Structure 1
Amino acid sequence: MTLKVKEPVWIGVDVGTTGVRATAYTATGKAVATTEAFYSLETPQYDWAEQNPQQIYDAVEEVVKGTVAELQYKLVTISGLALSSVMHSFIPQDENFQLLGNMMTWADSRSAAIVRRLELDPKCKEFYFNTGCPLHACYPLAKILWVKEHQPSIFDRMARIGSIKDFIFRNLTGEWVTDKSVASSSGLYNAHKECWDEEILDFIGISKERLPEVVSTTYSNTLLADVAQRLGLPTGLPVVIGATDGVLVNVGIGAVSAGQLSCTIGTSGAIRMLTEKARMDKNQRTWCYNLTDNMWVAGGAINNGGIIMRWMRDRILHLHGSQMEQLDVDPYDLMTMKARHVPAGSGGLLLMPFFTGERAPYWNSDLRGAFIGLSLNHSRSYMIRATMEGICYSLLCVLQALRDFEDVKDIRVSGSFTKSELWLQIMADVFNESITLPTNSEGASFGAAVLGFISDGTLKDIKDTATLVTAQEVYTPKVANREIYNELFKIYESLYANMKDDLARLVTFQQEHPFNRL
């Protein structure tokens, strides 16, 4: 017997760092069907982080096709597809859109040396106040300069400078455009004039003709006929270009009012707030990206979130593979259970979570991780909890910067870490703020679907989601724990200030003496 869903749905396609999810939502926020697929992140050389764009697109078709099949079984009316994607990707292509190399992801920091040079140029430092993007290796601005210096033959042939979003949109619709959200997170887009920044383009030696036209995040085109046939969708179905996953999280979890923030920990992590105009931090600690024509998102992303927990799982605890599957045990549940027996503060063990350098608020690629305070009494259980705490300290640094913009009234969370009640309580204690776990904690795909519903007139504004997402649980700070974390956070900040130069020397050593994973 089929289950008929009377309300039409939009399929939100969320393209992440290591996987893609296609989830169908009604306008009231109900998830009707979902499919996910995964792909690899390649690190062929030190500080490189690449992916094959075609592999990602193939995964997009796979998950959309799977979700469509489930919707057809349920007799659901599909209104369209809407896209969400990771930020800061860079894809070099020739004039015929043939790939000239793999995609550089946000995690690729091979251009760190170039960024260090740019930081010495006062004119380049001022680019931030035009773009809202601090100087950092994650941004396409630095990636393009790296290609110019190290692969001049590719730079000369690079007639099309794209991202994973416009690559997918072109494959689906045949049109090469990019959305304001992706453009504003490139380091090449003037947030005040809302166009490609001519001064920056002249500086790096490219013309705007190499870049796609910039359109609204609710802009749409129709599916190509052959793509529609492969996916099992009707010809002419609209595809909304959507926005980046970071800014869509706020929409998806209902953090759309003044003083409401979103906090996410997935592979990386971020804290964000909505603002009606582009806002720049005088100390250049935060970024600011576009969401819709009349809304921006100010915030900061950290490089190292769940990626360190995965490292802890695989490299320290060895809790992966067939052994865990045979036991039918989630290794992360086991890690949380072990960490729960450790007191707040992990016995004075601090993790500096800079395994892949750092973005906000330091914007310093020349950092590496460190456990500080290890004693013979510490065990792996202490290291697990210290990892959770260290990631929260890193996010607190970003939160402090955003507090300068506006008073915090509500922090809503999303991402894989929300499955751990312990980690949520640690965050509440470290932040000294109440943490709200919403009923929908997978924000980006629903945020994309919301842009779809706005494009067809079903919803009027992103703020319509404020009433659609309610609190599932609220975690309040524990006074005793807060006092411990306040003391340790002061040490954390002092350690960064005193260690950053030596960590940069270690990074140089690692570059000069490359090593392989054993």
Structure 2
Amino acid sequence: MDYMIGADIGTTSTKSVLYDMNGKVIAYANKGYQLYQDTPDMAEEDPEDIFDAVVEVLGQVMRKGNVKPGELKGVSFSSAMHSLILMDENDKPMTRAITWADNRAAKYSEELKENGLGQEIYLKTGTPIHPMAPLSKMLWLKNEKPDLYNKAKKFIDLKTYVFFRLFGVYQMEYSIASATGMFNIFDLKWEKQALDLLEIDESRLPKLVEPTDSIKGINANYGELLGIQQDVPFVFGASDGVLSNLGVNAIDPGVVAVTIGTSGAVRVVVDKPVVDPNGRLFCYALTKDKWVVGGPVNNGGIVFRWVRDQLFGPEKITAEQMQVSSYDILTQIAEKIPAGSDGLLFHPYLGGKRAPIWNAYARGSFFGLTRQHTRAHMVRSALEGIVYNLYMVMLMIEGVAGKPKSIQATGGFARSSLWRQMLADIFEQDVTIPESFESSCLGADVLGMYSLGYIDDLSEVKNMVGVTNVHHPDENNFEVYRELLPIWIRLSKVLAPEYKSIAEFQKKHMKEHQEK
């Protein structure tokens, strides 16, 4: 047997899947790690924890699959975007990995937006100006931690760190680079205007390589530990978002991938870089000939978890005692409420907001509450609010990529028939649920096979992705949503001027409570 490994370095865990050359899953491993949130805006992880997780899951699938010498043909990587690690002159981390969810650069993002420089840089890089981006993170460090910033030898991301530990090189592929805010997506080079702003030169950033490039000669100690020979190529791969599109076969024009896990995104593939004149959409590389346009949302499954924990605590405990999913119980409760939640609207901005409003200060709200509304209305309204937000992102994508032809839905939410039907009703589109397991890992696997010459075209993924079912829009429901969506959108604009005020109030009083 010949095998490939697709690995995904995620925000909360690293996953590894061993595939045969037809894309069949042979073995799977997953290892989580801690997220450090010492302050409300912080979201960091230990690079060593993540590297250890990568080594562990690679070793697990090799052992589970009983892979013999010569059978492993390659390893290909997916990774979360927007992470930042500062390395010292001895090639040791000076910081934890600052993740996409870290919000401490909010002030500097706002300043970039207000002075117009941010828009100029966005139009060259395709990365919206937001605290998530390494550009903003580095600007924050430059101004608030100058000693640390000036001592840094290299500014890198999680995947670059993993490859450095395994191969001793600082190299970053175009896909991760295109999510930094410092990479010119038209010239495929580090963007001078961004580097001038940060007062650094290219020597302090990794060398740029293509997502299909590979490297051999794994560190002998790790090779022996993993059972991976020196001649096995490691493909640099791409980011988790764009590989998720590939992994669900959403790479043809007009085929949209909607993903909801902890966070979420709406994405479509185009054949050349495209930017939004208003700076609201990202444009990230899959390969140098395929680009993914879309918008990420902060608040997906994390909102559902909040509803469960804060509004349905007793039901959660009962579910655990009965050894059934508390989320299944919540969706059963929500199914009893009609579409539109009897006019109860929810803005799911519990953790700031990326697309479509790109406001780190955004806060959540229920609107339209009456005495007739129940907790059941609130859970359905929360689910609908998540999908309304995704729909707003889709409207922006239509402006640059045209109306979608079909939707592929993935992520933890895709297990819920209620959510899938909501998506079909609100988007007024058929929604297909691919059978593929761990779409970013499969995307990494397919990109790796293409890179190494085992398949001739990325479209071969269609033979590896099954279809479980298709949901069609319910006319009775989408008529209701047509009435409510304009209200929901107008309301989000009305509330926007007060988001910063309430966020600053919360931050101030939270700090006072902590000091007491």
Report the TM-score range of the alignment, normalised by the length of the smaller protein: over 0.9
Q: Residue 240 of structure 1: which of 235, 239, 257 is its match?
A: 235
1:508 aligns with 2:504: yes
Q: Which runs of 4+ in 1 moved over 6 A?
A: 73-76, 319-323
Q: Which one is further off, 42-51 or 317-326?
A: 317-326
Deviates more, 1:308-317 or 1:443-452: 308-317
- Whole-angstrom CA distance in 2 between matches of 1:59 and 1:429: 40
Partner Cα distance (2:340, 2:84) in 1: 40
Alignment partner of 1:197 is 2:191: yes
The residue aligned with 1:58 is: 52
Residue correspondence of structure 1 range 276-355 to structure 2 within 5 A: 276-318=271-313, 324-355=319-350
Q: Is the 8 A contact 1:413 1:441 kept in 2?
A: no
Aligned partner of 2:110 in structure 1 is: 116
Offset of residue 107 of structure 1? 0.8
- Quote the Cα distance in structure 2 between the aligned partners of 1:358 and 1:132: 18
Tell me the residue number matched to 1:150.
144
**Kept in 1: contact 2:119–2:279 (CA 8 A):** no
**Is residue 24 of structure 2 the alignment partner of residue 36 of structure 1?**
no
The equivalent residue for 2:17 is 23
Q: Say if 1:39 and 1:320 are closer, same or farther in 2 by CA, change over 3 A.
A: farther
Partner residue of 1:489 out of 481, 485, 491: 485
Task: State the shift of 1:59 in Å.
Answer: 1.2
Q: 1:436 aligns with which of 432, 436, 442?
A: 432
Q: 2:226 aligns with which of 224, 231, 249?
A: 231
Give yes or no for contact 1:179–1:243 (8 Å, CA) kept in 2: yes
Structure 1 Cα separation of the partners of residues 202 and 466 of structure 2 = 44
Mean Cα deviation higher: 507-516 or 148-157: 507-516
CA contact (8 A) 2:308 2:316 kept: no
Cα 1:244–1:213 change in 2 (3 A) is same
- The CA distance in 1 between the partners of 2:221 and 2:447, in whole Å, is 25
Structure 1 residues 326, 412: closer, same or farther in 2, change over 3 A? Answer: same
Cα distance in 1 between the residues matched to 2:259 and 2:351: 18
Q: CA deviation at 1:181?
A: 0.3
Structure 2 counterpart of 1:169: 163
Q: Secondary structure at the match of 2:429?
A: coil
The one-letter code sitting in structure 2 at the alignment partner of 1:37 is K
* Deviation string, structure 1 residues 21-43 (Cα, Å, up to 9, x no partner): 10112332211111111112221
The 2-side partners of 1:417 and 1:425 are apart by: 11
Q: 1:128 aligns with which of 122, 127, 148?
A: 122
1:377 alignment partner, SS class: coil
Following superposition, the deviation at residue 414 of structure 1 comes to 1.1
Q: Which residue of 2 is the match for residue 273 of structure 1?
A: 268
Distance 1:505 1:335 in 2: 33
Task: State the TM-score, normalizing by the size of structure 2.
Answer: 0.95
- Tell me by how many angstroms 1:334 deviates: 1.5
Q: Which runs of no fewer than 5 residues in structure 2 stay unpaired?
A: none
Structure 2 residue corresponding to 1:402, chosen from 385, 397, 401: 397
Report the CA distance shift for 1:73/1:219 in structure 2 as closer, same or farther (over 3 A).
closer
Task: Provide the residue aligned with 1:260 in structure 2.
Answer: 255
Query: What is the CA–CA distance in structure 2 between the aligned matches of 1:290 and 1:485, rounded to whole Å?
Result: 34
Is the counterpart of residue 425 in structure 1 residue 421 in structure 2? yes
Whether the aligned pair in 2 keeps the contact of 1:19 and 1:39 (CA below 8 Å) is yes
2:362 counterpart SS class: coil
SS in 2 for 1:144: helix
Tell me if structure 1 keeps the 8 A contact 2:211–2:237. yes
Root-mean-square deviation (CA, aligned residues, Å) is 1.8
Q: Which residue in 1 is equivalent to 2:465?
A: 469
Partner AA of 1:259 in structure 2: G
Change (3 A) 1:321 1:102: farther
Secondary structure at 2:259's aligned position in 1?
strand
How far does residue 233 in structure 1 lie from its aligned partner after superposition? Answer: 2.4
What is the match of residue 3 of structure 1?
A: none
Partners of 1:272 and 1:91 in 2: how far apart? 27
**What is the deviation of 1:238?**
1.7
Q: Which residue of 2 aligns with 1:218?
A: 212
Report which stretch shifted further, 175-184 or 439-448.
Answer: 439-448
SS in 2 for 1:120: helix
Corresponding residue of 2:79: 85
- One-letter amino acid matched to 1:52: D
Distance 1:276 1:394 in 2: 26
- Greater Cα shift, 307-316 or 283-292: 307-316
User: Paired residue for 1:70?
Assistant: 64
State which drifts further: 507-516 or 207-216: 507-516
- Determine helix, strand or coil for the equivalent of 1:288: strand
Residue 75 of structure 1: how far off its partner (Å)? 10
Q: Which of 382, 385, 390 does residue 380 from structure 2 map onto? A: 385
Specify the code of the residue in structure 1 equivalent to 2:444.
A
Pair 1:372-2:367 in alignment: yes
CA–CA distance in 2 between the matches of 1:36 and 1:176?
26
Q: Give the length in aligned residue pairs.
A: 511
Contact 1:17 1:86 (C-alpha < 8 Å) held by counterparts: yes
2:24 touches 2:464 (CA, 8 Å); kept in 1? Answer: no
Q: CA deviation at 1:403?
A: 1.2
Offset, 1:511: 2.0
Deviates more, 1:208-217 or 1:16-25: 16-25
**Which segment drifts farther, 315-324 or 128-137?**
315-324
* Contact 1:17 1:267 (8 Å CA) reproduced: no
Picking from 489, 494, 497, the partner of 1:498 is 494
Deviation, 1:320, is 9.2
Provide TM-score, normalisation by structure 1: 0.95
Tell me the CA shift for residue 441 of structure 1: 5.0
Q: How far apart are 1:73 and its partner, in Å?
A: 7.1
2:22 match: secondary structure: coil
Change (3 A) 1:454 1:186: same
Q: Could you say which residue in structure 2 is the equivalent of 1:447? A: 443
Cα 1:462–1:114 shift into 2, 3 Å: same
Go from structure 1 to structure 2 and tell me whether the alpha carbon gap of 1:130 and 1:320 turns closer, same or farther (over 3 Å shift).
farther
| Residue identity opposite 2:110 in structure 1 | R
For residues 184-226 of structure 1, give each alpha carbon's deviation from its aligned partner in whole angstroms, at most 9, with x where no partner exists. Answer: 0000000111010011101121111110001011111122111
Distance apart, 1:407 and its partner CA = 2.7
Instruction: Indicate the larger mover: 160-169 or 116-125.
Output: 116-125
**Corresponding letter in the other structure for 1:410:** S
CA contact (8 A) 1:368 1:507 kept: yes
Distance 1:259 1:73 in 2: 39
Residue type of the partner of 1:505? S
The C-alpha deviation readout for 1:406-437, integer Å capped at 9, x for no partner, is 23111111111111011000011111111110
Structure 1 residue ranges without an equivalent (≥5): 1-5
CA distance in 2, matches of 1:320, 1:38: 26
What secondary structure, in the 3-state scheme, does the structure 1 residue paired with 2:93 have?
coil
